[in-house]
Structure 1
């Protein structure tokens, strides 16, 4: 499947770009991260501590073990605070 992967904040800085289109066989965001880490040192640095990550699939917040079947977009970002 082809999926658009979006990176925000320090993930974008470590990877070096805000988005990329990837071909993946991953069934979950966690499996997608494993594929991405193998791509470059920047990806490995960005995903070095996945406990510090949040994820959205097709603009819906989800956990890293949610299914990706049929997803068009996956976004990774640090935890958010608001006020």
Structure 2
């Protein structure tokens, strides 16, 4: 099981901040979440959304070990 964390508008959209999910990879995790909630799936694949695996930003797909932490971070703005 992986611990999934959502932040900012992603959390608001999903209606949850943290949950445990069984998935073999980040791509499989995204597909599972999208299958449960179309709007969340679209948001997770949107521009600027970053993925942190065990508190390190990663690009592309990665396998998930038992106990992994996957955080989806919304696009950041600044000024």
User: Does the pair score TM above 0.5?
Assistant: yes
1:14 maps to 13
1:57 maps to 53
- After superposition, where does 1:33-48 map in structure 2 within 5 Å? 33-47=30-44
Whether the 8 Å contact between 1:53 and 1:76 is mirrored in structure 2 is yes
Q: Which runs of 5+ in 2 are unaligned?
A: none
Q: Shift in Å at residue 73 of structure 1?
A: 0.6
1:29-76 Cα shifts (integer Å, max 9, x gaps): 222101111113453353352x33100001111113233234521000
RMSD: 2.3
Q: Which runs of 5+ in 1 are unaligned?
A: none
Q: Per the alignment, in what secondary structure is the counterpart of residue 38 of structure 1?
A: helix
Question: Alpha carbons of 1:17 and 1:65: their partners in 2 closer, same or farther (altered >3 Å)?
Answer: same
Question: Alpha carbons of 1:41 and 1:79: their partners in 2 closer, same or farther (altered >3 Å)?
Answer: closer
* CA distance, structure 2, for counterparts of residue 17 and residue 56 of structure 1: 18
- Relative to the length of structure 2, the TM-score reads 0.78
